[in-house]
Amino acid sequence: MNTNHTVSTTLNYQHILEQLNISLYGLEREKEEVLTYLKITELNPYDFERILCLVGPPGVGKKSLVYALAQAIGRRCVHIPIGISEVSASLSTYGKSKIGEIAGQIIHLMNQHRDQSILFLLEGIDFLSLTFQSKITYGFKEVLAITHDHALRMKHIESPLDFQRALFFATATDISKMSQDLLSQLEIIPMTGYNDEQKIAIAQQWIVPEEAKACGVQGQVDLSDDTLCEIIRRYTNEIGLHQLRAMIKKLCKGLVRELALSKGNGLPTPAPENLTSYLGYPLFEMRKARKENEVGVISTIGRSGGHGVIADLEVLLIEDSQPKIILTGNMDTLVREVVMVALSYLLSRATTFGIEKDFSKKYTIHVNMIPGGILKSGVSAGLPIVLALLSALTKKELRCDISALGEITLHGKVQKVIGVHEKILAASRMGITRIIFPKENLPEIERLPREMHREIELCGVDTVEEAVSYAFS
């Protein structure tokens, strides 16, 4: 049985792209990469067998893109959820039963829709148990072939199925724990999410009309861009659209409730200043970049739950006869180790940066991160930590509108970190205009929405010395 998934007829890719642009706002690079994948499967059907996998947090448009593509190329999209809980994944019977279940579903659906070309969407492929990932993908085609032959022998299907009529796509939230065996059979396309301007456009064109219709007030809900911006920044904290949709739904219900209890005939018009009456008090603090340059203070960018968060890092030097290092602000062990690396690097390069060689014997060094209620974890704070320490030791002011991210080494190299696009999207919301990042992260930077490159100056560096040239006022 030939199990290559191919595009059986020559497609009009320009027409497909036009249809995708009508159905989905933004995601330009993702659309182009999906079309590239389709063209490769058309030109090289027998050697290119990887499954296309869209990767990103919830709400960034993974399923929407697949559904829109299926419609644009005239295929029936069949959704097969394969993501499971960690508890279920630990069961010893999981691997074998799940393999049979997925393959059986595919065979059954192909037999049921013999006269149609199908696009299979395997959702949540990253939740497959690590124990069985390699067995499941040992290969995907072999599993289908075995199940197909079994179905023929058992008379579950009357005649062989044509697998050239099927395309296989998958989605995943996090691929960091996936086995190399599984990853080798996937063509990965990262989904970068949306900035605030894109979210406003999507809300106006799709989300508000859909939620208004669901509440029975179609065409009557009028939300200004300023109101939507307030909802996005004060009531959501994500790079996707799930929280935004939930808030707009809640707002529409509030408007209907007010209509029911009032004597008027029309819906009120929400404004930024009266959103609390519909949505309650804001869930997130809309923090802004600092207004003045300061010594030993810099904004840091982190990631929590798939979205970016902002913290201020401050360093204070205190003359002390018994110097020590004080670390506060809810830092985990990893961040504390990063501080040690930064201090050792500066001690070794004291002459280069013009700082006192014996500063560690003269000052108590206090490093604090605000807000203290959020646990700080990860190595991406290495670059801002070393810049804040250097600022405090040289008494030079850091620019108030900058932020930085990157892991540092004892020799001052700046290395790649994860979650760059979520972190940069978060920084743009608070007025940061320059971000220093590792050059190794350039592929992720290039995937950012094009608007971001106009709004923020993105400075790639390989070393701490390069970062210093961008950081100080």
339 in the same domain as 236: no
Amino acid at position 132, single letter: F
Rounded CA-CA distance 73/70 in Å is 5
Residue 178 maps to a domain: yes
Q: What is the mean pLDDT of residues 142-163?
A: 68
Asked whether residue 150 carries a pLDDT value surpassing 70, the answer given is no
Which one, of 298, 306, 299, lies nearest residue 419 by Cα? Answer: 306
* Residue 409 structural domain: 294-471
Q: What distance lies between CA 98 and its chain's CA centroid?
A: 28
What band does 400 get if pLDDT is binned at 50, 70 and 90? confident
Q: What is the mean pLDDT of the chain?
A: 81
Rounded CA-CA distance 324/367 in Å is 11
Asked whether residue 448 carries a pLDDT value surpassing 60, the answer given is yes
pLDDT of residue 146: 67
Higher pLDDT, 48 or 150: 150
Structure tokens that stand for 110 in this block: 């192909």
Asked whether residue 331 carries a pLDDT value surpassing 60, the answer given is yes
Q: Tell the residue number behind the tokens 């995943």, with chain if given.
A: 172
* Exposed/middle/buried for residue 48 (C-beta within 10 Å: 0-12, 13-18, 19+): middle
pLDDT of residue 135: 54
Residue 269 maps to a domain: yes
* Exposed/middle/buried for residue 455 (C-beta within 10 Å: 0-12, 13-18, 19+): middle
- Of the ranges 138-152, 230-244, 256-270, 403-417, which one carries the lowest mean pLDDT score? 138-152
Helix 382-394 and helix 333-348, axial crossing angle in degrees, nearest 10: 50
306 in the same domain as 181: no
185 in the same domain as 202: no
What band does 141 get if pLDDT is binned at 50, 70 and 90? low
Rounded CA-CA distance 393/350 in Å is 10
Rounded CA-CA distance 173/25 in Å is 21
Judged by phi (left if over 0) then psi (alpha if -120 to 50, else beta), residue 407 lies in beta
pLDDT of residue 370: 85
373 in the same domain as 423: yes
E-state strands within 229-280? none
Which one, of 328, 325, 245, 234, lies nearest residue 281 by Cα? Answer: 234
231 in the same domain as 131: no
The domain that holds 200 is classified in CATH as 1.10.8.60
Residue 284 maps to a domain: no
Residue ranges in 365-455 assigned as alpha helix (H): 382-394, 420-429, 442-446, 450-455
DSSP string, 305-364: TTEEEEEEEEEEEEE-SS--EEEESSB-HHHHHHHHHHHHHHHHTHHHHT--TTHHHHEE
Amino acid at position 293, single letter: N
| Single pTM value for the model | 0.71
Rounded CA-CA distance 138/3 in Å is 14
Rounded CA-CA distance 152/373 in Å is 60
Boundary residue ending a domain (190, 215, 248): 190
> What Å distances lie between residue 82 and 16, 89, 97, 254, 420, CA to CA?
28, 11, 12, 36, 28
The domain that holds 455 is classified in CATH as 3.30.230.10
Residue 88 maps to a domain: yes
Amino acid at position 332, single letter: D
Which one, of 298, 309, 285, lies nearest residue 403 by Cα? Answer: 298
pLDDT in tens, 80-138: 887 644 444 443 333 445 666 777 777 777 777 776 788 888 888 877 655 555 555 45
213 in the same domain as 360: no
Residue 94 maps to a domain: yes
Backbone angles phi, psi at 259, to 5 degrees: -65, -40
pLDDT of residue 337: 93
Residue 400 maps to a domain: yes
pLDDT of residue 305: 56
Boundary residue ending a domain (145, 169, 190): 190
Strands 402-404 and 76-81, bridge-based pairing: unpaired
177 in the same domain as 33: yes
Higher pLDDT, 153 or 6: 153
pLDDT of residue 466: 93
pLDDT in tens, 353-396: 999 888 888 999 999 988 777 777 888 889 999 999 999 999 99
The domain that holds 85 is classified in CATH as 3.40.50.300
Rounded CA-CA distance 218/220 in Å is 6
Radius of gyration of the chain (CA): 26
- Of the ranges 13-22, 263-272, 352-361, which one carries the lowest mean pLDDT score? 263-272
Residues linked to residue 300 through DSSP beta bridges, in sequence order: 311, 404
Q: What is the mean pLDDT of residues 278-293?
A: 76
Q: How many structural domains compose the chain?
A: 3
Please answer whether residues 125 and 63 qualify as being in contact, where contact means their C-beta atoms are separated by less than 8 angstroms.
Answer: no
Residue 285 maps to a domain: no
pLDDT of residue 95: 43
317 in the same domain as 257: no
pLDDT of residue 178: 77
Residue 224 maps to a domain: yes
429 in the same domain as 379: yes
pLDDT of residue 96: 47
pLDDT of residue 89: 42
pLDDT of residue 132: 54
pLDDT of residue 393: 93
185 in the same domain as 137: yes
435 in the same domain as 305: yes
Which one, of 432, 422, 431, 342, lies nearest residue 384 by Cα? Answer: 342
Measured between its terminal Cα atoms, the distance across the chain in Å is: 67
pLDDT of residue 306: 55
201 in the same domain as 157: no
pLDDT in tens, 179-231: 777 787 788 888 877 878 888 999 999 999 999 999 988 888 889 999 998 89
Boundary residue ending a domain (140, 158, 190): 190
